[in-house]
Amino acid sequence: MLKDNSMRINDLFHQRRITLETQAQKLETKLADILRSYSKIEDPNPNPNPTQLETKLVDIRTQLKAVDDIRTQLKAVDAAVKAVDAAETDYRAVLAIIIKTQPFGRKLPDDLKLSIVGGVGGWHSYMVARVSSGFRASVKKARELRMYGAQGLSISAGHSHTVISIWGRVYTCGGYQANEDEDNADFYRAHLGHGDSVIELVPRFVEALVGVNVVGTAAGGDHTVVWTDEGKAYSFGYGMFGRLGHGGEENERVPRLIAGVLMGKRVIGVSSGGIHTVVMTAEGKAYSFGYGVHGRLGHGGEENEYVPRVIEGALVGIYDTGKRVIGVSAGTTHTVVWTDEEKAYSFGNGRDGRLGHGGQKNELMPRLVTPPLPLI
């Protein structure tokens, strides 16, 4: 059934392209005819009177308008072709999601299916439903819950603050009720990105990010990282131990671009732990910085890192074979990353078995979590 539906939708894309190509060919032929007929117009009267001139100007204007109309239609056809190409690309991405869930068979939980269709968005969900009937009820439920009504929404909760991004704009609220005699007490209340030390009881717009389109947020202990549709990451908040990635321990009261090794790379995901940060790029590599105790940064030691540093160790083999890290999650004292081979690697504080290796030993570098997690 999946194969038949997939082939049918592929045929629809193909037929739509043929229709648009035929339409474009007809318009181009019509345009060529107009231009050819216009070039053959001869004026039988070398000394026309004003009335004849006006008549000729009207004809010329009519021809030019026809040319402009056809060119406008050609642009519309070209835009439609690009839209079909984009739709097919999106469709194939959705199909990949469905194929990955096939091992679950009919045992795929309804709440997981709802999460999938809610996450990929309205149009993608409708494509999922057309290809796989098992998702139709989930898409209907997602519409009833209005899960498609807040596109571009990202929310992250930190130790004492909340970060919200919707339609590219960032809002923060909360703060830390520090005692006045605490070291750096004033700044504990100033990690919201507004440049001041005020506790915000309702979400407040982060004005320093005007002009950038934020697509993701990661709130840590007392710091925050956001990233944009252009793949740039900005951090702000408490800077101790290098958790902001700017090369020192300075606090940042307003968002600041993370430069260095990330410049020229496209950031597509970030996870902020208590006092460290993990970044994922489009090239499929993971970077970490901040507090290094227990090996939570994955670099083979316990030193702090003040700028982003690529995580290597067991991940080098992943990078070298063209495989990619597709997810990162920073805990309070440990980190987990996972790859497109559906393998998870953990490192950092091993207390209470949080790394999943069967013991409580700290891991200073990424270690594969085995055996593989069981399918549902």
Q: What span, in angstroms and rounded, lies between the C-alpha atoms of 218 and 224?
A: 6
- What does pLDDT average to over the chain? 79
Tokens 């063209």 -> residue: 322
Tokens 């008549």 -> residue: 55
Q: What is the average pLDDT across 24-35?
A: 73
Q: What span, in angstroms and rounded, lies between the C-alpha atoms of 59 and 31?
A: 16
Domain covering 154-368 assigned CATH 3.20.20.410 in the classification: no
Q: What span, in angstroms and rounded, lies between the C-alpha atoms of 255 and 245?
A: 12
Kindly report, residue by residue over 346-356, the tens digit of the pLDDT.
999 999 999 99
For 210, which DSSP code? Answer: T
Give 366's pLDDT tier (boundaries 50, 70, 90).
Answer: very high
Residue 57 to residues 44, 63, 252, Cα–Cα distance (Å): 15, 10, 66
260 three-class SS = helix
Can you give the C-alpha Rg of the chain in angstroms? 29
- Of 187, 186, 158, 154, which is closest to residue 171 (Cα–Cα)? 154
Give 69's pLDDT tier (boundaries 50, 70, 90).
Answer: confident
Question: Which range among 80-94, 111-125, 230-244 has the greatest average pLDDT?
Answer: 230-244
Q: What is the pTM of this model?
A: 0.62
Give 79's pLDDT tier (boundaries 50, 70, 90).
Answer: confident
- Of 317, 293, 297, which is closest to residue 368 (Cα–Cα)? 317
Alpha carbon 324 to chain centroid, angstroms: 16
- Asked if residue 372 has a cis previous peptide bond (ω within 30° of 0), the answer is no
What does the domain layout of the chain look like in residue ranges? 2-144, 154-368
Q: E strands along 149-232, which residues?
A: 154-157, 161-166, 169-174, 200-205, 214-219, 223-228
Q: What is the pLDDT of residue 1?
A: 46
Q: What is the pLDDT of residue 106?
A: 47
Residue 186 to residues 154, 168, 233, 250, 346, Cα–Cα distance (Å): 28, 29, 26, 14, 35
Please give the structure tokens belonging to residue 25: 């060919």
Q: What is the pLDDT of residue 298?
A: 96
Element at 347 (helix H, strand E): strand 344-348
In this model, does residue 258 exceed pLDDT 80? Answer: yes
Q: What is the average pLDDT across 97-121?
A: 55
